[in-house]
Each structure stands twice: as structure tokens, then as C-alpha cells.
Amino acid sequence: MPEGLEVFVLGRALLHAGLPPDRVDTHGKHLYVNGMDWSFGLWGRVHLDAEGVLTKVPSSGDGRTGAVVPLDASTRSKLGVDFATGTAAAFAAAIQPWRRSKRPLGTLLLDQSGVAGVGVAWGSEMLARCGLRPDKPANAQDLSPLAQTMVHVRDEALQTYFQSPTWHEVNAWFHNLYATRHMAVYKKGTPVMVAGRQWWVVG
């Protein structure tokens, strides 16, 4: 499912296609186009026609396409540091309160008010990279490597995406990204359930 990195690339693809820079923006899992807030569900496919009109593509099966609603500045202001653009220092500041939390680390990562744009896919990758568990309390783990690991995982993923010769093809955006991304743990490791969501861990 699209997470913040995929939505970020979609925003850049739309700019590449000629949409004005003042009409396209992204933050976390949200795409902002022409005053509308697009959120993505399980699939998040889109279509850009010859007239420059962007629409959601209906998904098949039980896939949810997400909502398209008027932009609400108050809603956006509640989002945390953007995973696609945040610095290690900004991530570290967002993570700091987690050090005292007894909640599972995975639950905190999915709370978009801390770091916006992380889901179970990239969350599983970054936690495995620094030896952390999504199903263990945050305050029982050493979170010191997490902020820098977020930057490394993010930068590697975006580099892979933008090296793809077809990343900018908006109508094939979802397929292009999912065909090129490299994941070592997501859907390859051992599944664990955290607050009703399936995460993946090493071993």
C-alpha cells in the first residue's frame, strides 16, 4: 500500500507531468492537489488524462482507494515530521517522547502525529535495520539508532525509485514503484501482529 515515500514520488511525477508547483504538494501519506486532500488506501492508483485532470482509479476486490476531500489546514497541521523530507534531528525530536512510552513501538510509528508517512512496510524495514521490535514497548528498547536509520532507509528507497526510468509515468506510478523497490524484511520475514496490523520482523 502507498506510504509517504510513494506519495512523495507521485507528487514529483505530477510536477514532471506539468502540474503547477503551487498546486501540488505532499506530506506523509497525503497528496494535496488543487486544494484537495487525497489519502490512499490499499492501492491508491491514479489516472492523469490528456487534459491534466487527475482522478482515482477504482480498485478491485476489497482494495480501498482512499478519500478525496477539501484541504483542511487544521488536519494537516496535526501531521508530524514528513518521513520523505525530514532531517535526522527532526526525527530525533519526534521520537524523544516515545522513550517514556509503554506502548508498542509499532503503534507509535503508525501514529502520524509523530512521523507522518510511515506504514508497516517501511516501518518493518527500518526497525529491522536497527534491531528494534514493533511489538515491544518503546521504553524497553534503545531508540537511539532510529532517527538516523529513518534517514538511511528513506534515502535508499528514494534513490531506488528515482533511478527507475519510468518513475514519472503517473498512470503507471503504483506499478513502477512496487516493481523497483527493494525490501529485505517486509513480507519476507516473520509476521507479528501489533494493534491489528501485520508487521514483519527478522527471525
The last residue of one of the domains, among 15, 44, 77, is 77
Please say whether the beta carbons of 32 and 66 come within 8 A. no
Residue 171 lies in a domain: no
Give the residue numbers spanning the domain of 28: 4-77
Rounded to 5 degrees, φ, ψ at 41 are -95, -135
pTM over 0.85: yes
pLDDT given at position 176: 85
Closest by CA position to 167, among listed 158, 42, 121, 51: 158
pLDDT given at position 64: 64
SS3 184: coil
pLDDT given at position 73: 87
Residues 95 and 153 in one domain: yes
Residues 99 and 60 in one domain: no
pLDDT given at position 65: 67
pLDDT given at position 121: 95
Residues 71 and 87 in one domain: no
The last residue of one of the domains, among 77, 105, 136, is 77
Low-confidence residues in the chain, pLDDT < 70: 59-65
The last residue of one of the domains, among 33, 50, 77, is 77
Q: How many distinct structural domains can be found in the chain?
A: 2
Residues 146 and 103 in one domain: yes
pLDDT given at position 60: 58
Count helices and strands in the chain by DSSP H and E runs: 7, 10
The CATH number of the domain where 105 resides is what?
1.10.8.50
CA dihedral over 161, 165, 168, 169, signed as positive or negative: negative
